[in-house]
Amino acid sequence: MESLTNKRKVIESKPLNFWERAYLPAIIQGLSITMKHFWKKPVTISYPEQKREFSENFRGMHSLKRDENGKERCTACGLCALSCPAEAITMIAAERQKGEEHLYREEKYAAVYEINMLRCIFCGLCEEACPKEAIYLDGDIVPPDYLRKDFIYGKDKLVEAPLNQ
Amino acid sequence: MGLADIIIKLILVVIIFAISLVIAMYSTYAERKIAAFFQQRIGPNRAGPWGILQPLADGGKMFLKEEIIPANASKFLFIAGPSLAILTACIGTAVIPWGQSLTIGKYVIPLQVADINVGILYIFGVVSLGVYGVMIGGWASNNKYSLLGAIRAASQNISYEISMGLSIIALLMVTGTLSLKEIAEQQHGFWSHGWFTWNVFRQPLGFLLFIVCAFAETNRTPFDLPECETELVGGYHTEYSSMKLGFYLFAEYINMFVSGAVMATLYFGGYNFPFMHHLGLSDNLVAILGVIALFAKIFAFIFFFMWVRWTIPRFRYDQLMDLGWKVLIPLAIANIIITGLWITFVK
Amino acid sequence: MSTFYFIAFLSIFFSILVITAKNPVHSILYLILTFFTFTIHYILMNAQFLAIVNFIVYMGAILVLFLYTLMLINLNKESEPRKSNLVNIAGFIGGTCFLITIVAALKAFKVSQPVILHDPNLGLVKNLGKILFNEYLLPFEVSSILLLSAMVGAVLLATKDPKTA
């Protein structure tokens, strides 16, 4: 049969000659290869002390953004929760009271906003869905913990630090 | 033998015992570090600076782990197995000449526990006894994988002991003595009568055979079939946990140390180093330097054991047997004949 | 002398355990101990070479093979063949004959003259080798030929006949 590509190589299996059968030259060759690697620089990055640079489109921990005046952008529309394939996001909306204009940008805001980091698959659909550009997955790797309840991140961990601090 | 002699011997025994245990301990650390370097990693580096306390952490872990004796195991033999393994590993150090005699005041301290005139055969006997620890432990576990590991260990050790013995015979024909002390003394210095004094230059093939057999006898890669994970779960120590497992692993490293010492003594001049008596140093200083030289050689062998482990994959079982019976034994016999001819016609 | 009696007692004790042990593997292990006491006997008689050869060959090789075989065939109570009456009768007759022989031998018991060696260092390697290869060269070589023929026989038995296979 004619081959479709010319990539096929005919492999000859010749019987081993004496030196190949004698093991030793091959073993010495192998030893020299490993010895070469012995002197090379380790490629390890000792993680907690050193960190490998993240790629530009790395998706890490979520953060809820503030606008240029330091007001929370989130308006608790629930689109992120709706778009979330892992159903990791829940929120409770509340109405902005008088005197809270410097805290929340819109008239409605999220009183409670929780993301279950054990459910989250870091797909980034929430940031795609957000009409207010309020949520971004621009944080670090989610740190480990011992209890499941500690992986449910509330607003205390998610909202960006206020501007004036 | 006076009281002083006995005390000196006892101190020597304790020192050698302690040294071999410490070396075995740090061999586990060295193994992991060296493996890491061969694979361009860093290796253990958390316990202490550069991970130097890692063996202590491992030992502590081994002691604190739960001790499991399987319900249907033969309890006495289950405990006897690892004990025997580490015992046979440790008693091999008794006949190794660690250095020339030290002279302190009126006491002459020979740096060898027992200079028996069948030293090599003693080592050989201890090595052949070493397999019992593995066999008894493997059988007593009442587990088919352990049993298969034990059986593999037995047949492998028996097969390679033969070629090991034959390669030693060729060496004995050259040296004419069975005492390790005398063999070490014969290799004094490095060069005399127009040829190297070290036996490796007189018995290169014998040394090659011996080192291959040493790998097989210590169950090191590429001959670590008794504990072959891919086929036998954990081999003979599948059922072992806690310090009893630790004893088996420890015994392997002590065996490595002892076989390094034996190879250094038999083939690489023991405690001798080049120009040892042309430096103009006092005898005691030369003796101490000799001990250091011997340990350097031993460490080089231990490094070689590890180097090979991280280079060569495991043999298949039939290949192992083929190599032992069809290659090494005929080569060893040929080596004996060549040595005999050389002694008769050249010497 | 007390060392001798102690070791002799141990030899007999372990050899009785060999034949009374229920489990064949245990009985091999007792046999190993018995051989070990023999090694000590040889050392007491200043026969270092014999001691170490007994150690290597019997303890280190032959008994390993025994143990190996027993482990492979895995003897236990269920697989033990039923002994027929004929075997029992034969065993009884054989045992009685042995008993009579021993009793007769005890009757003729006299305190034997201890063998006095001309050379107490006969057991050392050098002397033993010289004697073996000078005075007793012929028996030595004949026994080696016997061993060789046994080996050839074993190989012949083990290899399959190409015609019948």
Contact B310 A34 (CB under 8 A): yes
pLDDT for the residue C81: 63
**Closest chain B residue to A40, measured at CA:** B40
What is d(CA A49, CA A38) in angstroms, rounded to the nearest whole number?
24
Whether A70 maps to a domain, the answer reads: yes
Contact B125 C56 (CB under 8 A): yes
Chain A: nearest CA to B308, how far in angstroms?
A: 7
What is d(CA A132, CA A47) in angstroms, rounded to the nearest whole number?
35
Chain B within 8 Å of A41 (Cβ-Cβ)? yes
pLDDT for the residue B9: 83
Average pLDDT over residues A16-38: 84
Closest CA to B38 of B270, B250, B241, B309: B309
SS (H, E, C) B3-35: HHHHHHHHHHHHHHHHHHHHHHHHHHHHHHHHH
Chain B: nearest CA to A81, how far in angstroms?
A: 42
Identify the domain containing residue A123 by its residue range.
63-158
Containing H/E element for B102? Answer: strand B102-104
Chain A within 8 Å of B312 (Cβ-Cβ)? yes
Closest CA to B197 of B257, B119, B277, B256: B277
Whether A8 maps to a domain, the answer reads: no
pLDDT for the residue C150: 93
Which of chain A's residues have a Cβ under 8 Å away from the Cβ of B38?
Answer: 34, 37-38
What is the phi/psi pair of residue A94, to 5°? Answer: -145, 160
Whether A36 maps to a domain, the answer reads: no
| Domain count for chain A | 1
Helices (H), ranges, chain B: 3-38, 54-64, 75-91, 119-140, 144-175, 180-186, 204-217, 229-232, 242-267, 283-309, 317-322, 329-345
Residue-range domain boundaries for chain B: 68-99+113-345
Mean pLDDT (chain C, rounded): 82
pLDDT at A165 over 60: no
Contact A40 B41 (CB under 8 A): no
pLDDT of chain B, 347 residues: tens digit per residue: 578 778 888 888 888 888 888 888 888 898 889 889 888 888 888 888 888 888 888 888 888 888 888 888 788 888 888 898 888 888 888 888 888 877 777 777 777 777 777 788 888 888 888 888 888 888 888 888 888 888 888 888 888 888 888 888 888 888 888 888 888 888 877 777 767 778 788 888 888 889 998 888 888 878 888 777 778 887 888 888 888 888 888 888 888 898 899 888 888 887 887 777 777 777 778 888 888 888 899 999 999 999 998 888 888 888 888 888 888 889 899 999 998 898 888 76
pLDDT at A5 over 60: yes
Which of chain B's residues have a Cβ under 8 Å away from the Cβ of C53?
Answer: 121
pLDDT for the residue C147: 92
pLDDT for the residue B317: 85
What is the phi/psi pair of residue B202, to 5°? Answer: -100, -25
Contact A34 B40 (CB under 8 A): no
Chain C within 8 Å of B145 (Cβ-Cβ)? no
Which of chain C's residues have a Cβ under 8 Å away from the Cβ of B149?
Answer: none
What is the phi/psi pair of residue C12, to 5°? Answer: -70, -40
Contact C64 B135 (CB under 8 A): yes
What is the phi/psi pair of residue C151, to 5°? Answer: -65, -45
Burial C85-117 (b: 16+ CB within 10 A, else e): eeeeeeeeeeeeeeeeeeeeeeeeeeeeeeeee
Contact A46 B42 (CB under 8 A): yes
Determine what percent of chain C is predicted with pLDDT higher than 90.
Answer: 14
Chains A and C touch (3+ CB pairs under 8 A): no
Q: What is the CA radius of gyration of chain A?
A: 28
Whether A57 maps to a domain, the answer reads: no
pLDDT for the residue B275: 73
Helices (H), ranges, C48-116: 48-53, 63-73, 85-107
pLDDT at A6 over 80: no
Whether the complex's predicted ipTM surpasses the cut of 0.95: no
For B76, B94, B146, the CA distances from B129, given in Å and listed in that order, are: 19, 15, 19
Whether A153 maps to a domain, the answer reads: yes
pLDDT at C148 over 90: yes
pLDDT for the residue B222: 84
Chains A and B touch (3+ CB pairs under 8 A): yes
SS (H, E, C) chain A: CCCCCCCCCCCCCCCCCHHHHCCHHHHHHHHHHHHHHHCCCCCCCCCCCCCCCCCCCCCCCCEECECCCCCECCCCCCHHHHHCCCCCEEEEEEECCCCCCCCECCCEEEEEEEEECCCCCCCCHHHHHCCCCCEECCCCCCCCCCCHHHHEECHHHHECCCCCC
**Closest chain C residue to B129, measured at CA:** C60
pLDDT at C145 over 90: yes
The tens digit of pLDDT for each residue in C66-108 reads 888 887 776 665 656 666 788 888 888 999 999 999 888 887 7
pLDDT at A37 over 70: yes
Closest CA to B160 of B189, B123, B124, B106: B124
What is d(CA C35, CA C7) in angstroms, rounded to the nearest whole number?
11
What is d(CA B187, CA B266) in angstroms, rounded to the nearest whole number?
9
Which of chain B's residues have a Cβ under 8 Å away from the Cβ of C61?
Answer: 128, 158, 161
Q: Which of B36, B41, B312 is closest, CB to CB, to A30?
A: B312
Strand, coil or helix: what is B196? strand
pLDDT for the residue C142: 93
Q: Which residues contact A101 (CB under 8 A, 6 or more apart)?
A: A71
pLDDT tier for residue A146 given thresholds of 50, 70 and 90: very high
- Is residue C30 within 8 Å of C21, Cβ to Cβ? yes
What does the angle CA B311 – CA B166 – CA C135 come to, to the nearest 5 degrees?
170
Better-scored residue on pLDDT, A99 or A90 = A90
What is d(CA B31, CA B27) in angstroms, rounded to the nearest whole number?
6
CATH number of the domain within which A80 lies:
3.30.70.3270
Contact A38 B37 (CB under 8 A): yes
pLDDT for the residue C25: 82
Contact B40 A41 (CB under 8 A): yes
pLDDT for the residue B136: 86
What is d(CA C45, CA B255) in angstroms, rounded to the nearest whole number?
31
Chain C within 8 Å of B77 (Cβ-Cβ)? yes
The tokens 């069948």 sit on which residue?
B118
Chain C within 8 Å of B333 (Cβ-Cβ)? no
**Closest chain B residue to A23, measured at CA:** B323
